Amino acid sequence: MNSYYQNRKALVTGGLGFIGSNLSLRLAAAGARVTVVDASIPECGANPQNLAGGRGIRVIPCDVGSPQGFAEEIRAADIVFNLAGEVSHIHSMRQPSRDAEINAGAQLRFVDACGRLAPGLRVVYASTRQIYGVPRYLPVDEAHPVLPVDFNGVHKYAATSYHLMYQSMGRLDGRVLCLTNVYGPRMALDIPGQGFLGNFLRRVLRGQRLEVFGDGRQLRDPVYVDDVVNAFLAAGAIDDPPSRLWNVGGSEALSLGDISRVVSAAADVAPPAYRPFPREHKSIDIGSYTTDSSRILRDLGWRPQVRFRQGIARSLEFFRRRWQHYLPGTPPLPASSYHTDAPDASGIAV
């Protein structure tokens, strides 16, 4: 799969962010000629240090909503990985107009520009499981009704539809990945509202006890960022795929209580505490969510490889070594505190 990208011109929007930077680094290592477009919008996770060590990656400080600023790069691209956007559900509820502009308006202008400037261009878009809202059944497959419970889900679904509509009109070669909770190196730990896994890692790196809202029984299937990068590479490398939208989930369905215990044990901090849901969070809580990833396995041969305990150990080690770029002013616990091979505190295999 990596050989497919040798010498190809790859344009990555949002490439200074968490997933986009990991993808950009992998593309560059595979021999692609990578251009990153990122406006570094406050609270969206851009961090120039995310691309440290990447060779030959060009960065254009521009908003995807202003595609005229990088029109030549669109024309020259062989493939676009579109990861620009805001991921915070809480932020979307506090500032819905901002979220609409970042995740819908800017995306429409970008997709339309791609269709005009480079008809037929292959564009792989990063959507979210949040478009499905409260699951009617588990695991959630691509046929599940779309009923988002927050503005972020609404606007991300609008952008999803733009990509698929331009694909159906023959103006783009569009593909979409709906991602569950992604975690791993280069997460924006110092920005609130970026998801519970970022909050968990930030707290344990500071030696703080985790807090779990509710009874901790809600299910999630976290997916490690390297696995997500593999899904993007697979989605971009196939010609004429049988599907255009795939759900991407992790290898294990774990309760939030189990997740918090694994993270706490790995960092050797006190077991988690439980507290009632804050009203602001409860209003957009979806309950349990797990992913049916059988379509992407069937179409692209992709399946997650990294178990949760292993991924958490890798993440803690990464941030410990580079804490000054992700948690400035707060040196984390020493390496000896991390139990990278400790059994799961809940007694289950994770």
Task: List, as one string, the DSSP characters of 227-275.
Answer: HHHHHHHHHHH-SS-S-SEEEE--S--EEHHHHHHHHHHHHT-PPPEEE
Mean of pLDDT values over 55-71: 97
**What tens digit of pLDDT does each residue of 39-52 get?**
999 888 999 999 99
Indicate if 85 and 166 belong to the same structural domain. Answer: yes
Q: The domain that contains 270 carries what CATH number?
A: 3.90.25
**What tens digit of pLDDT does each residue of 131-140 get?**
999 999 999 9
pLDDT tops 80 at residue 344: no
The answer as to whether 293 is a domain residue is: no
The answer as to whether 295 is a domain residue is: no
Indicate if 128 and 267 belong to the same structural domain. Answer: no
Indicate if 15 and 159 belong to the same structural domain. Answer: yes
Mean of pLDDT values over 180-195: 91
Q: What is the mean pLDDT of the chain?
A: 92
Q: The domain that contains 230 carries what CATH number?
A: 3.40.50.720
The answer as to whether 107 is a domain residue is: yes
The b/e string for 255-280 (b: 16+ C-beta within 10 A; e otherwise) is bbbbbbbbbbbbbebeebeeeeeeee
The answer as to whether 302 is a domain residue is: no
Tell me how many domains the chain contains: 2
**What tens digit of pLDDT does each residue of 94-128 get?**
999 999 999 999 999 999 999 999 999 999 999 99
Indicate if 213 and 159 belong to the same structural domain. Answer: no
Q: Which residue has the tokens 């991407």?
A: 248
Indicate if 75 and 111 belong to the same structural domain. Answer: yes
Indicate the pLDDT class of residue 350, thresholds 50, 70 and 90: very low
pLDDT tops 60 at residue 249: yes
Answer whether 247's CB lies under 8 Å from 295's CB: yes
Indicate if 241 and 317 belong to the same structural domain. Answer: no
Indicate if 92 and 61 belong to the same structural domain. Answer: yes
pLDDT tops 90 at residue 335: no
pLDDT value of residue 347: 28
Indicate if 199 and 144 belong to the same structural domain. Answer: no
**What tens digit of pLDDT does each residue of 281-331 get?**
676 789 999 999 999 999 999 999 999 999 999 999 999 999 999 998 776
The answer as to whether 110 is a domain residue is: yes
Range from 81-95, 235-249, 318-332 carrying the lowest mean pLDDT: 318-332
Indicate the pLDDT class of residue 1, thresholds 50, 70 and 90: low
Answer whether 305's CB lies under 8 Å from 228's CB: no
Indicate if 208 and 335 belong to the same structural domain. Answer: yes
Give the residue numbers spanning the domain of 235.
Answer: 2-181+222-248
The answer as to whether 296 is a domain residue is: no
Indicate if 162 and 175 belong to the same structural domain. Answer: yes
Answer whether 34's CB lies under 8 Å from 58's CB: yes
- Among residues of the chain, what percentage have pLDDT more than 70? 93
Indicate if 59 and 87 belong to the same structural domain. Answer: yes
Indicate if 52 and 147 belong to the same structural domain. Answer: yes
pTM: 0.93
**What tens digit of pLDDT does each residue of 3-31 get?**
999 999 999 999 999 999 999 999 999 99
Mean of pLDDT values over 77-89: 95
